[in-house]
């Protein structure tokens, strides 16, 4: 979770670094300065969610749960694609004389 306004830098700059270095990390932006421009920028820079202050704990937990489920589904899809690729390669190798 990142705040748009951090004491020593803009949260969006840290978001860019996190998205570049660890794109699989779930990144949730929180702000007390909501605007359409901030929301669009944060999402375009790799935020997975945008929440306005004051943060409702139930809402935050729901968003975290949703994002974790989405991440788990994406990982399953990736694992499935890798498994299918390996199976295809094995079949091709088995067919070669």
Q: What is the CATH number of the domain that holds 42?
A: 3.40.50.2300
Convert the pLDDT of each residue in 6-28 to its tens digit. Answer: 889 889 999 999 999 998 899 99
Vertex 86: Cα angle to 83 and 87 (nearest 5): 85
- pLDDT, residue 60, reads 94
Convert the pLDDT of each residue in 54-87 to its tens digit. Answer: 999 999 999 999 999 998 888 887 877 888 888 8
Host domain of residue 79? 2-95
Which residues, including other chains, have CB under 8 Å from residue 51's CB and lie 6 or more apart? 28, 29, 30, 31, 59, 60, 63
* Residue 64: exposure state from Cβ atoms within 10 A (0-12, 13-18, ≥19): middle
């Amino acid at each position: 979770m990142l705040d748009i306004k951090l004491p020593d830098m803009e949260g969006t700059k840290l978001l860019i670094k996190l998205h570049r270095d660890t794109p699989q990390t779930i990144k949730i932006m929180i702000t007390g300065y909501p605007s359409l421009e901030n929301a669009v920028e944060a999402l375009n820079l790799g935020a997975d969610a945008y929440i306005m202050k004051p943060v409702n704990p139930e809402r935050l937990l729901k968003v975290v749960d949703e994002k974790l489920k989405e991440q788990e589904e994406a990982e399953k899809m990736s694992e499935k694609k890798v498994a299918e690729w390996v199976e295809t390669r094995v079949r091709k190798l088995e067919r070669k004389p």
